[in-house]
Structure 1
Amino acid sequence: MKRRYLLVALAVVLVAASVLTYLIQTGERGLGRQERPLRDLEVTRLDAAKTEDLGWDSKKLDTLFNYAAGLSTDSFMIVTNGQIVGAFGDLSKSYSAHSIRKSLLSTLVGQQLASHTNELRLEATLQELGIDDAPVPLTQLQRQTTVRHLLRSVSGINHPAAASGSLQADIDRRLGHSENQPGTIWAYNNWDYNALTTVFENATGSEIAELFHVGIAQPVGMQDFDRSAVSYAVDLQQSKHRAAMFKMSARDLAKVGSLYLNRGAADGQQVLAENWIELITADFTETGFGGLRSGHGYLWWIPEEDTGLPEGTFWAWGLGNQALIVIPKWNTVIIHQSDTTEFRKRFIPLTTSEKMTGEEAIMQLIRSCRERAARETEYCIEHRFVTRSEFEKLVSLVVAARE
């Protein structure tokens, strides 16, 4: 069977990682707060009576969608009890999911653990599984890392990784450059996720695209996913472990969220291990970031209580504030997507030709859309980067619409 491989240029990989690290650590210093011109969006909404029956305040949803119209969000949808409360954008168009890929990998692991043919053992060590790395090999202590350690981001292994880039500064701060006892230190570490991809594919004997198609996409009834939506970022000078990248549509991401709302069941079958959701929401690690990214468990983020999101909420996050938010207490899934293509076209020259740091480049691009002459340009209205502070306000308006 023909497989489609994508060798991602290192410069593009560095872009995604640089921006991700910056958003985690700084939050743009409030530069994303200026008023934006509203776009002419076709918003799909339930009528007021049905909206209220589902627990939403219709007028406050007006405020929410008006705010979203001032961002460069490409697709946004709220689904409660299986009904689309409100949405805009082409919900069938697939965008790069960026780091949402990690939560999709988690979903695949949960699916595999529910399978009667499962060969994946969470307590198996890398040594038992024959997992090493090159060009820098693992030490004997590092090879005692288990599959569960990789899922919980606590391997403690500070190795170069494909698609890591400027994440390395935060990893170095947390892990240092000496050996760490596996299971003792958390770090948002692409090495863990890429090694987990290798472990998963070795254990199953199949590639991510095939297993996701058969194990997740088909059972939940995805409409837009096919195997070509999965590609790999590879950097053999850093590591032999590949990063499996996804492109997903909003309505297909919503199907993933609905799978979790249904406690891992779809179409009468148990797709995910029955305890998978409990592991995500109970066996998580405090990250030190606070806010929406206060905890991290089994490749999903756990928000703090003061965000207003109810206990039991977990979510997936990617570059450009791609988001898949699962809120079991509201029986709700929220999807936010933004196409980062045009942003990256401007960002890459600033960090290569202009020699700016990732932080300097993103701040310049944010400031450029504050200038009066630029605000009305297509880029600043349709394609600019949705900042962390803007996304946090969007979430706060979601919460307000439930109060």
Structure 2
Amino acid sequence: MKRKTALWVSGLIVIAALCLTYLFMTGENGLSRPSAPERALDITRLSDEKAESLGWHSGRLDAALSHAATLSTDSFIIVTNDQVVGAFGNLEKPYATHSMRKSFLSALVGLHLGSGPGQINLDATLQELNVSDTPGPLSAKQRQATVLNLLKSVSGINHPAAASGGIQADIDKRLGHGENEPGRIWAYNNWDYNALTTIFEDRTGLGIAEAFDKGVARPTGMEDFSVDAVSHILDADLSMHKAAAFRMSARDLVRLGQLYLHNGRADNQQVLPESWIDRAVEDFTETGNDGLRWAHGYLWWIPGPETGLPEGSFWAWGLGNQALFVVPEWDTVIVHQSDTTEFLKRFLPMIEVDGMEGEAAIEQLMLSCLERGNRESEYCVEHRFTTRREFDELMALIARARI
């Protein structure tokens, strides 16, 4: 059992390490498959009249749901004005959320803002907080980065970190190998997020699981979350800072989205400061990318204007296109989840036994589902990775479904 657990965690680390490479690679080189078979799914949808009263064109909504049914999506839900507009899959089953964890961490920081004991001061520097790293220490300039710099992904620190293998090339390109002035260069950098996890736990005296349970899950009425749903990933050979990984269900993710949609209020109480939510959509940094990842702020992604999503929208993303969209102008929350378990069973042996590079293994698995003999296999229909292009198309269809 311990060996299986270690193998799973190892695979999770490798997959997390590949997330940015996957983000840019998939869907850009002809990897999305044409005329994929639609799965037999029990889709729930409001009547045409009710859907249109909430701002949805019924025919175009059906087109979006039909497209989602051709993907390996395991749970999908659109909620507008607290009403389920369309959904399918097991909305109660927790799935690995991968990098969505970073947006959850952002909420926790917002719950504990302040300069007193047990609080987090965004202006505090790493030096003031006595934060460095082992086995490689930070330089004096790097320790001038602030908590806010970590939250905005602009620390400028290029340091080895758990789950950074596949994204290291992009980090190196953006940050180089020398010292950078904190606050000037954006990079999707797991070191920032892992160090922020350390700071949160040291300053508040709370573990991430306990803090999320008490501060978010209970006040919002989450039904499937438990502290056991949070695990930790540590690679001590690279860094002392660990990542906190979450498993969450679609209906619980909806509750988190609604907390942000309702200006931080749940059950007639102010859970999250409204000003904290405003920061995500007002104080962001353009990433140099286009589309759904046009900008990034406070560990949330900001879609670009060409996506059809209205200004003020923001979203959490995880490997396999785990997604939570908050769209205030539509009074809407959208959740998309895909179970990566079956992918992992195929991916790990390719890395650990066959000795393949991670990117090559991912591409081979995707290309295998384009082959005529494999396209309708259970894995390719139910469990394959959804490519970036396919996911972007889904969100474009959703945007076009608005009246």
TM-score band by shorter chain is over 0.9
State the shift of 1:349 in Å.
2.4
In the alignment, residue 60 of structure 2 is paired with which amino acid?
K
Query: Which residue of structure 2 lines up, in the alignment, with residue 308 of structure 1?
Result: 308
State the shift of 1:265 in Å.
1.0
Query: Structure 2: how far apart are the matches of 1:328 and 1:349?
Result: 43
Query: Which residue of structure 1 lines up, in the alignment, with residue 65 of structure 2?
Result: 65
Conserved? CA contact 2:114–2:120, under 8 Å? no
In the alignment, residue 129 of structure 1 is paired with which amino acid?
L
In the alignment, residue 64 of structure 2 is paired with which amino acid?
L
Structure 1 segments unaligned to the other structure (5+ residues): none
Further displaced range: 191-200 or 343-352: 343-352
Conserved? CA contact 1:113–1:273, under 8 Å? no
TM-score normalized by structure 2?
Answer: 0.95
Conserved? CA contact 2:162–2:191, under 8 Å? yes
Conserved? CA contact 2:117–2:203, under 8 Å? no
Query: Which residue of structure 1 lines up, in the alignment, with residue 293 of structure 2?
Result: 293
Equivalent residue of 1:381, what SS?
helix
In the alignment, residue 395 of structure 1 is paired with which amino acid?
M
Q: Where do 1:132-143 residues align within 5 Å? A: 132-143=132-143
State the shift of 1:35 in Å.
1.4
Conserved? CA contact 2:33–2:370, under 8 Å? no
Conserved? CA contact 2:27–2:390, under 8 Å? no
Query: Which residue of structure 1 lines up, in the alignment, with residue 264 of structure 2?
Result: 264
Root-mean-square deviation over aligned CA pairs: 1.8
State the shift of 1:234 in Å.
0.7
- Is residue 330 of structure 2 the alignment partner of residue 326 of structure 1? no
Query: Structure 1: how far apart are the matches of 2:316 and 2:163?
Result: 17
Conserved? CA contact 2:118–2:205, under 8 Å? no
Equivalent residue of 1:336, what SS?
strand
Query: Which residue of structure 1 lines up, in the alignment, with residue 171 of structure 2?
Result: 171
Conserved? CA contact 2:28–2:389, under 8 Å? yes
State the shift of 1:43 in Å.
0.7
Structure 2 segments unaligned to the other structure (5+ residues): none
Query: Which residue of structure 2 lines up, in the alignment, with residue 392 of structure 1?
Result: 392
State the shift of 1:8 in Å.
6.3
Further displaced range: 19-28 or 123-132: 19-28
Conserved? CA contact 1:19–1:362, under 8 Å? no
In the alignment, residue 334 of structure 2 is paired with which amino acid?
I
Query: Which residue of structure 1 lines up, in the alignment, with residue 74 of structure 2?
Result: 74
- Is residue 247 of structure 2 the alignment partner of residue 247 of structure 1? yes
Query: Structure 2: how far apart are the matches of 1:27 and 1:370?
Result: 13
Query: Which residue of structure 1 lines up, in the alignment, with residue 112 of structure 2?
Result: 112
Query: Structure 1: how far apart are the matches of 2:202 and 2:308?
Result: 41
Query: Structure 1: how far apart are the matches of 2:19 and 2:257?
Result: 26
Q: Where do 1:4-403 residues align within 5 Å? A: 9-25=9-25, 27-113=27-113, 119-403=119-403
State the shift of 1:236 in Å.
0.6
Further displaced range: 30-39 or 281-290: 30-39
In the alignment, residue 86 of structure 2 is paired with which amino acid?
G
Further displaced range: 76-85 or 104-113: 104-113
In the alignment, residue 249 of structure 1 is paired with which amino acid?
S
In the alignment, residue 354 of structure 2 is paired with which amino acid?
E
Query: Structure 1: how far apart are the matches of 2:261 and 2:9?
Result: 37
Q: 1:66 to 1:26 in 2, by over 3 A?
A: closer
Equivalent residue of 1:109, what SS?
helix
Q: 1:235 to 1:111 in 2, by over 3 A?
A: same
Equivalent residue of 2:209, what SS?
helix
Query: Structure 2: how far apart are the matches of 1:338 and 1:116?
Result: 41
Q: 1:226 to 1:31 in 2, by over 3 A?
A: same
Q: 1:282 to 1:25 in 2, by over 3 A?
A: farther
Q: 1:73 to 1:17 in 2, by over 3 A?
A: same
Conserved? CA contact 1:17–1:163, under 8 Å? yes
Further displaced range: 129-138 or 357-366: 357-366
Query: Structure 1: how far apart are the matches of 2:132 and 2:7?
Result: 22
State the shift of 1:386 in Å.
0.8
In the alignment, residue 105 of structure 2 is paired with which amino acid?
L
Q: 1:28 to 1:266 in 2, by over 3 A?
A: same
Q: 1:102 to 1:19 in 2, by over 3 A?
A: closer
Query: Structure 2: how far apart are the matches of 1:116 and 1:217?
Result: 25
In the alignment, residue 203 of structure 2 is paired with which amino acid?
A
TM-score normalized by structure 1?
Answer: 0.95
